[in-house]
Chains A and B, each alone.
Chain A
């Protein structure tokens, strides 16, 4: 593996002393391991993106349209008119520096342009130059920079080194959110056809097949059927597999990684076991088979185009409400954007748990409930028979995923569930959990293999906290509720803290769940109980 070549001591030898060189001088080297590949032409075409061409960041000629500068500046003007956050956050930063060491990429790399303040300044300087009088008149003295191709390259490099995790916005005295700045910067880059493979390809797949992995409907059914078979091997029970079922009460939407990737797979088994046991009248959808939304990492427009499927499918199938699986940025979209983008969902009903009768007041408009809310309610009402000792093999710590933490406030539900399904649950240090949680280092489309060095650097603060509880409490399992976490924490921990695995909260629910008529000798991973 490539990571073998990366020496830990080298990665950890981080200097926070910035070079004396003026940051205003744009300069960027696309060093292998620290940037993502460009979007393939095929997928640019499928989505109808601007300036379609084969392109790589390392190309000397980025094949920009002739009037690229005009396009960007006009785009900027539009965004300034559309988003108060953008204009305000460009205007009011006082450069107090409180955000500087809150970014996991800065902590892990020491690159001054990874300080949130300076990351924003890369864009802010151009804003000053073209949109403020002081910048127009005084130029460099007023912190203004001309928009050049070099600046654009720098934008690409650094705005694809931000995982939109919002940690800096927790610490900023004005709540300046670099995620907003990054989203705007990416919107601008899109206008001239600059985006990465790991964002555009999943988005295009999702547009066509309904999910990021590009799984067509029949293959999706096959893989779900495979999960049903596996669950039968484990529990002796055959669970229902409703797909595109009209008239079901609930539409269930999970990140598609859950039915293809590992360790997500065990979370899928957990969902299936749970839904079977409580006799939930639900359905999967092949058309809306993706909760995650890589459109968010591209533009609000693409986010809307992908997200539209969930409500459309809920309407077509005639369900009462929608239940969402374990995912991170998926919940950023569902919680903060979906109702605005594609609502109102007046054809759905206010969500009520068919098992406990609990009315999910907090989702009364969007009508989409998080599975942790749903399951926590089941447990609280004693609707599940649980045997936590079946999880005694693992000593768990819970990793708050950025978006459910800082864009939703989902902290207690998963913790409540874990405490009820497992006997050994430990918290990581206070300053690395809840709203202060650290990103896995691979969010917002940065989980590409070619970006491994940056991911290992950015993921280090998280890994370090895991190591702390690994050494202190013998923690050997990180539970989380995000598909990107599950995919990226696995190699991250293998590298930094070998011996710690990753699983989803509903994997442990599935393990502990005592099902009627079951006979189990192994957990969902097939390991003896």
Chain B
């Protein structure tokens, strides 16, 4: 955990230095973001294509509901889908609403051998808040990258700032995501079981995301940032005519640099679950393995014990017992 924290702090410092030390804006505002993006796109494709190109030799969905069998037995089409639209439905609920996590419960043996089940949905809530807030935030950011600003973004922004607290208004998504990240960190750091299973990389991802969020929030609410110039830079980046000028503010530099790091780190980390979740054979296959033959592309012949070999060994005893044989 310490290493993870230190490395994120170090990265933030580098980002800050990039903003204040002269003559580095080309590197920090142009080269690094472009390089990061390139790494992200190529890395993401490399990983995702690598997974999808690898064979799925067997049809192994985890069935979470009644199979399709006799016509009068009601099939659970979501838990045990036999058609692609229902697989898409199952996946959509998984990806958009974290259906499996919703079913989470704690199980433990407590005094006198009682097995206690208790619903445990905080992880579901924390995860859902985190991911949906992140989606809203990413979408909101498009206002920097589009001119005229894409339709819908203003509306979303209005909704997100509905409570009109503070100037500039505080976004609900910001509050939610910070709360969610705090929760995700706290459960990892405080629960002894979670601590055992956590790797430095798990903390690193959390700290890095938290630092990106914090730098973003700080520059919006506390350390004035030249939004005009941010927009100019963002438009420059997307139109491939990057603008090299003084940075709009120190926290912006940190933010941009950390985002670049996050984006470049993404394809090589567990964050790739974002793509992997779609490819999981226990979730994205139809439960139709007795209806349609699933082919294993690397299937090979194996040594079997044939009936002839079997009969050769047991023929006499079989005849004696009156069991029909092929060769008398």
The chain A residues found within 8 Å of chain B, CB to CB, are: 8, 12, 14, 16-18, 23, 48, 80-85, 87-89, 91-98, 100-102, 107-108, 112, 115, 117-118, 121, 133-134, 141-143, 166, 169-177, 180, 207-210, 216-218, 221-222, 243-246, 286-287, 300-301, 304-305, 308-309, 312-313, 316, 334-337, 339-341, 343-344, 358, 360-366, 368, 373, 376-377, 380, 405-413, 416, 429, 431, 434-436, 460-461, 464-465
Q: How far is the CA of A136 from the CA of B109 in the complex (A)?
A: 40
Instruction: Please determine whether B66 and A412 come into contact, CB atoms closer than 8 angstroms.
Output: yes
Q: How far is the CA of A13 from the CA of B5 in the complex (A)?
A: 37
* Segment at the interface with A among B31-39, B219-227, B265-273: B265-273
Q: Which of B46-79 contact A (CB under 8 A)?
A: 47, 50-52, 54-60, 62-70, 72-74, 76, 79
Q: Is B238 in contact with chain A by the CB < 8 A criterion?
A: no
Residues of B close to A366: CB separation below 8 A: 289-290, 293
Q: Is B152 in contact with chain A by the CB < 8 A criterion?
A: no
Q: Is B162 in contact with chain A by the CB < 8 A criterion?
A: no
Instruction: Please determine whether B73 and A413 come into contact, CB atoms closer than 8 angstroms.
Output: yes
Residues of B close to A17: CB separation below 8 A: 192
From residue A396, how far is it (CB to closest CB) to chain B in Å? Answer: 20
Q: How far is the CA of A427 from the CA of B171 in the complex (A)?
A: 48
The 8 A CB mask of B288-299 against A (1 = contact, 0 = none) is: 111111111011
Instruction: Please determine whether B66 and A100 come into contact, CB atoms closer than 8 angstroms.
Output: no
Q: Is B139 in contact with chain A by the CB < 8 A criterion?
A: no
Q: Which residue of B lies closest to A337 (CB)?
A: B58
From residue A180, how far is it (CB to closest CB) to chain B in Å? Answer: 7
Residues of A close to B104: CB separation below 8 A: 98, 171
Q: Is B244 in contact with chain A by the CB < 8 A criterion?
A: no
**A-B CB contact pairs (8 Å), 18 listed:** A12-B112, A12-B113, A18-B195, A82-B55, A96-B101, A115-B193, A173-B277, A208-B313, A244-B324, A309-B304, A312-B306, A341-B296, A341-B299, A361-B68, A406-B62, A406-B63, A408-B63, A435-B64
Query: Chain B, interface size: which category?
Result: 35 or more
Instruction: Please determine whether B69 and A244 come into contact, CB atoms closer than 8 angstroms.
Output: no
* Segment at the interface with A among B13-21, B143-151, B210-218, B279-287: B279-287
Q: Which residue of A lies closest to B314 (CB)?
A: A217
Instruction: Please determine whether A416 and B127 come into contact, CB atoms closer than 8 angstroms.
Output: no
Q: A112-B193, A118-B197, A287-B307 are in contact. Are A107 and B115 (CB under 8 A)?
A: yes
Instruction: Please determine whether A218 and B51 come into contact, CB atoms closer than 8 angstroms.
Output: no
Q: A12-B113, A171-B100, A174-B280 are in contact. Are A362 and B57 (CB under 8 A)?
A: no
Instruction: Please determine whether A141 and B3 come into contact, CB atoms closer than 8 angstroms.
Output: yes
Instruction: Please determine whether B276 and A218 come into contact, CB atoms closer than 8 angstroms.
Output: no
Q: A93-B270, A340-B299, A376-B73 are in contact. Are A362 and B291 (CB under 8 A)?
A: yes
Residues of B close to A339: CB separation below 8 A: 289-290, 293-294
Q: How far is the CA of A23 from the CA of B194 in the complex (A)?
A: 12
Q: How far is the CA of A208 from the CA of B310 in the complex (A)?
A: 7
The chain B residues found within 8 Å of chain A, CB to CB, are: 3, 47, 50-52, 54-60, 62-70, 72-74, 76, 79-80, 82, 94, 98, 100-101, 103-109, 112-115, 117, 123, 127, 187, 191-202, 268, 270, 272-273, 276-277, 279-283, 287-296, 298-299, 302-307, 310-311, 313-314, 317-318, 320-324
From residue B203, how far is it (CB to closest CB) to chain A in Å? Answer: 11
From residue A118, how far is it (CB to closest CB) to chain B in Å? Answer: 6
Instruction: Please determine whether A429 and B73 come into contact, CB atoms closer than 8 angstroms.
Output: no
Instruction: Please determine whether B69 and A413 come into contact, CB atoms closer than 8 angstroms.
Output: yes
Residues of B close to A81: CB separation below 8 A: 54
Q: A173-B98, A335-B289, A361-B291 are in contact. Are A312 and B307 (CB under 8 A)?
A: yes
